[in-house]
Amino acid sequence: MKVSFEEAFETDQFIQKLPGVHWNKDRLLPLIEEVKEFLPDRKEKIIGEWSMKAMDTFWIVQMLHILKNGGFIIHPPNSAGGPDIFAEKNGQKFYIECVNPRNWETPEEQKSGYWKRKDKAGNHFETRMDYPQASEKKRVLKYRDGIKEKHEKYQTWISKKKINANIPYLIAICGGNQTHSDIYAYGNDVPEIVKSVYPIGDKFYSVPLENIENLSVQYMIRNSITDQFNKDIPTDSFLDDNYESISGILFHPYNNLNDTDLNGMGLVLVHNAKEKNKIPAKFIPNCREWDFDLGTNILSNTLNPPLPSSEDI
């Protein structure tokens, strides 16, 4: 049975799967309606499929609103297939393919991730056992899976001549499903999404004994992460010529359709040092940008001074 977005919100299957979304339907449906013509498969949705992938659709809706509010021209999706979004501004065209990776925690792990203890008064309370830093590699692996999948899709589109190989291609990754997705997303530390494509590992402090005031922040070199199958997954793709077709990664830690997020606040853009088709700096309003200089081996961002980086990268 095929149903509309409006009908989908009222089905028992959807309400059971996403009750919070259902109760916010009066706010969400108008936002979907505003950009519905630009959504892939926008005319009708199979309820069984859409209820499972609704958050993926909301992520595309969020990106469409960010572009719309940023003054971009958005083109209808290609009926023959291709990236989720095709847009342009000031004559600069680009593709965006969206991905919203599943959580690194299973529902069972989310429940067992807490343990009960007592305070001095004897009252029970729950404490999170899994600290955000301890699960960083698991989130990075999820982001890596999304990048690999969308890179392979791009190669397929190119081979079938569905898209232009000379137009920049961005992968937009949402951390909304991830537990602790916002760790390091906004502070002075390197965000995990940057560590997914550049060989940057754990942070450490370097303190010279002769002058302890000259403390500096540095990062371990990490070219790969070992997954659950004991396989090394590369984390230096943006220094690899094989990934030159990806112009950059867009990332937002939340899947929220509120006014702030729809203006691009909180969005991160990671430029590819090996990009074949360049996305100009400050092209997308309000987002924080990270870039790597191949000449100096310096990683920098638009809100803070360049970070110290080892010459071994």
**Which pLDDT band holds residue 122 (cuts at 50, 70, 90)?**
low
**In contact, 228 and 259? CB cutoff 8 Å:** no
pLDDT digits 0-9 by tens, 245-257: 999 999 998 877 7
E strand or H helix at 48 = helix 47-69
Dihedral angle of Cα 282, 308, 305, 207, to the nearest 10 degrees: 160
Q: Average pLDDT, whole number, for the chain?
A: 80
Mean pLDDT of the 133-147 span: 84
pTM of the model: 0.84
Q: Which residue has the higher pLDDT, 20 or 160?
A: 160
Residue 41, pLDDT above cutoff 90: no
Instruction: Write down the pLDDT at residue 125.
Output: 52
